Amino acid sequence: MKLLVTGHLGYLGVEMTSRLLAAGHEVVGLDVDYFADCDFVAPPDDVPNLRTDLRDVEPAELEGFDAVIHLAALSNDPLSDLNPDLTYDINLHASVRLATAAKQAGVPRFLFSSSCSLYGAGGGELLDENAAFNPVTPYGESKVRVEQALSKLADDAFTPVYLRNATAFGASRRLRADIVVNNLVGHAVTTGKVLLQSDGTPWRPLVHVFDISHAFEQALVAPRDAVHDEAFNVGRTGENYRIRDIANQVAEVVPGCEVAFAEGASADARDYQVDFSKIEAQLPGYVPEWTLRRGIEQLYDAYSGAGLTWEAFDGWHYHRLRTIQRRLQLHELDDGLRWT
């Protein structure tokens, strides 16, 4: 299949691209590469890149593709809070525009990288795909509104699929240090402390970046009737954890470290547990392989093997908000997050 992968140079995209290439697909990327010079250990795969701003894509550029895998977004809550209007411009309006252009170009399948963060504050129950939306950030709200808009585009010729990823973790060639498991392991390896930014009580559903890639690969080739206009929570049953339990597992894996709380650590409004039984039962071929423990061990080996230091881990390269702020300060990006 000929695939367009937006955000193919991001944390998830670089690893998904490799998996799709290995499966024999032809991959073309679309990414303005905000995180150039942010490689961890090795560079991304070299695939053709349209290098078009997501906000400017025209139907003619999408002709001939068998599917669009849409990953590109301002991709975490602090970054979306930097400028909520830009979050809606890029994550919401540009995403709907892309899907509309794909439909006009005759692309039959559109996989949208949604998020379990659209459930927001979950109230303690396991949330399935029919649970009420309760986003607590512009990032989460944008995911809700894109799903709703894409559903209106669904018809006999256009199949949107909504893959609601749990909180991602795991090593990537475009590493992110600003997501919880990666962050806790990095602190442990480079400082000897598993540093909690909250009081440790909130729940998070977790999924390894490789299992997310696997889910998209299966949704890509699944029979239309199995995925048409369907939402799937992407993760693994049993992989819901309190933050403090994640910290304790990190402390068990990383030698000589201790659990500690950051100054001012408090409760976090993002607190939810997710039910993954639908994807496990209804998406053909979906067999996730990664557990939290195995992922922590992978990250420990990757960080240690790279000789990662605290200065590098805490620098701008692996933190999405810091990278964008640096590029703004250097006037590499304008206020609309376009390259100057």
Residue among 208, 321, 199, 318 nearest 261 (CA): 199
User: Does domain 2-329 bear CATH number 3.40.50.720?
Assistant: yes
Q: How far apart are CA 314 and CA 5, in angstroms?
A: 29
Q: Residue 80: what pLDDT?
A: 63
Element (H, E) at 22: helix 11-22
For residues 137-155, give the mean pLDDT: 94
Digit-coded pLDDT (tens) for 279-324? 999 999 999 999 999 999 999 999 999 999 999 999 999 999 899 9
Does 181 have pLDDT greater than 80? Answer: yes
In Å, how far are 122, 163, 193, 246, 318 from 125, measured between CA atoms? 7, 20, 31, 19, 33
> What's the sign of the alpha-carbon dihedral 254, 259, 260, 262?
positive
What's the number of CA atoms in the CB half-sphere (13 Å) around residue 238? 7
- Residue 109 C-beta-side C-alpha neighbours within 13 Å: 25
Residue 256 has pLDDT above 80, yes or no: yes
d(CA 75, CA 72): 8
What is the per-residue DSSP string for 72-112?
-S--SHHHHHH-HHHHIIIIIIHHHHHHHHHHHTT--EEEE
Mean pLDDT of the chain: 93
C-beta separation of 205 from 274 below 8 A: yes
pLDDT reported for residue 170: 98
pLDDT digits (tens, 9 = 90+) for 193-204: 998 877 888 899
Mean per-residue pLDDT for 262-288?
85
**Position 46 pLDDT exceeds 90:** yes
In the predicted model, is pLDDT for residue 216 greater than 90?
A: yes
pTM, two decimals, is: 0.95
Annotated domain spans of the chain: 2-329
